[in-house]
Amino acid sequence: MVAIVLLAQNRAWAQLDEPYEKPPFNYSTAQAHDAVAELQARPASALPWTGGGKVILQRLLKELRIPVESQVLVFSKTSFQRQVINPSRPRAIYFSDTSYVGWVPDGLIEITTIDPQLGPMFYSFNPNAEQPRFVRDSNCMTCHGGQFVRGIPGVFVRSMFTDATGEPLFRYGSEVVDFRTPFTNRWGGWYVTGKHGNFLHRGNALAHEEDGQLVVDLSHGANTTDLSNLFPTKSYPRSDSDIVALLVLEHQTAMQNTLTRASLDCRGMLAYQKNLQKELKEPVTEWLAYDSVKHVFAAAAQQVVDDLLFKDEALLPPKVEGSAAFQEGFCRDALRADDGSSLKDFQLAEHLFKNRCSYLIYSECFRTLPAELKRRIHSRLVRALDPATSDPRYGYIPAGERLRISRILRQTHPDFRHLPDQGAMDPGQGFEPAPAKDKPASPSPFRVPLSRRSLRCQVSRSGVTAEMGRQ
């Protein structure tokens, strides 16, 4: 127990050294502007939160406009509520485009909502307390404060093998999952309902060791549609853990982290430039004056566009079948072009979406990015979507799909309403930042993002082999 406390303390101290805990952000002490803050300001939130955990959960989902159909279930002991999580009592997670709620029967409710300037904000809510209230919870930052997603407060999905109690078998690897992760590597420690043909994943499967070797049968968890023989599903609002919801969650968390990183890195560099100009007694400018600042903005814009357009997306099975209820709920608020198409239209055959440009381009996080960064993102995105340019970086997107995405953005997104029907304009028109005066290069005080460690597994009839690599 002492070791656990010391580990938590060490991580908390390390968090204070993160760039987001320093000016101009001051993450932990800054006033939050997110969905929970808005909820607390509404008169309805003053009503007593009564009725027990499941009833309070359903009310909270309604208040935060999170569809209950988004339910996914994780049984690995990877939350600060690990003592009450196991394969017989998994942790349920629900999400919308901007909010996430986690709940364990008889446990706490965990809430994560997105602040457009600061990124994810973490709260806990004890439904069993005499006077339940939202508490901004620093315990969440032990994992979400930079341990698994470096340098930013992050949201993420992890995959790992677990034993029959839900205890992770870390010696066989663990990875943060996103839309680039091979299908076979996903969902270790999760329940998964849905059909996916002959492709295998790690969900629904428990592992153990024999003679120092990992033993796990991935076929045991394949194409599962009923979880009632694995745990008491009636304890939860729904009985499923939808495969399509999991695929969406993995894309969304990755895209959100990219937007958070781009925002914090670029806002930090703008503050750095302003302070340096004051020290050098130079005019304070809004445009980017130093090469080091321009470099950070260019790198951030490239990463945002790459992730918006699903660059390096892992191949999905030829056919994925999930819950129609989730898909209907997810698409209910989709912004649609005149022909009915949207960025939330599912393909579920080799790729998740029919029109591969992330719907988080509509998010407040994207809309409030620094203007100089947005201009660079827009310019790159227009070039990427122009069929005439044939940008090899995005050559995996067919010309017809590029035109569909351009049409959807032109008709639904205020930033892109001037786009021509056939991409005939100069790719940079209207977006390129004003020319900057030459300034001396200066070193960046912000870290270059670290490459991510990942587990790569090969599945054969003889079992699973794992290899740690860098991604």
Q: How far apart are CA 201 and CA 193, in angstroms?
A: 11
Torsion of CA 305, 451, 353, 331, to 10 degrees: -90
Same domain assignment for residues 309 and 396: yes
Q: Is the CB of residue 63 less than 8 Å from the CB of residue 44?
A: yes
Q: How far apart are CA 84 and CA 362, in angstroms?
A: 37
Number of domains within the chain: 2
Q: What is the pLDDT along the chain (471 residues), one digit of tens a residue?
A: 333 333 444 444 445 578 888 888 778 888 888 888 888 887 766 667 777 788 999 999 999 999 999 999 999 998 778 788 999 999 999 999 999 999 999 888 999 999 998 889 889 888 888 777 788 766 655 555 556 566 778 787 999 999 999 999 999 988 999 999 999 999 999 999 999 999 999 999 999 999 889 999 999 899 999 999 999 999 999 999 999 999 999 999 999 999 999 999 999 999 999 999 999 999 999 899 999 999 999 999 999 999 999 999 999 999 999 999 999 999 999 999 999 999 999 999 999 999 999 999 999 999 999 999 999 999 999 999 988 877 899 999 999 999 999 999 999 999 998 766 544 444 333 333 334 443 444 433 333 333 333 333 333 333 333 333 333
Same domain assignment for residues 139 and 275: no
Which structural domain range is residue 14 located in?
2-245
Q: Is the CB of residue 457 less than 8 Å from the CB of residue 184?
A: yes
CA distances from 186 to 181, 227, 377, 460 (A): 7, 18, 30, 16
Residue 9 lies in a domain: yes
Residue 149 lies in a domain: yes
Residue 465 lies in a domain: no
Same domain assignment for residues 267 and 201: no
- Enter the pTM of the model: 0.85
Helices 324-331/243-279 angle, 10° precision: 30
Residue 430 lies in a domain: no
Residue 455 lies in a domain: no
Q: How far apart are CA 332 and CA 298, in angstroms?
A: 35
Same domain assignment for residues 218 and 288: no
CA nearest 449: which of 159, 158, 154, 141? 154
Residue 95 lies in a domain: yes
Give me the sign of the Cα torsion angle 231, 235, 238, 242: negative
Collapse the DSSP code of 280 into the 3-class scheme (helix H, G, I; strand E, B; otherwise coil) and give the result: coil
Residue 458 lies in a domain: no
**Any idea what the Cα angle at residue 236 is, between residues 41 and 248, rounded to 5°?**
70
- Looking at 211, 245, 279, the residue that finishes a domain is 245
Same domain assignment for residues 214 and 341: no
Residue 451 lies in a domain: no
Give me the sign of the Cα torsion angle 256, 261, 264, 269: negative
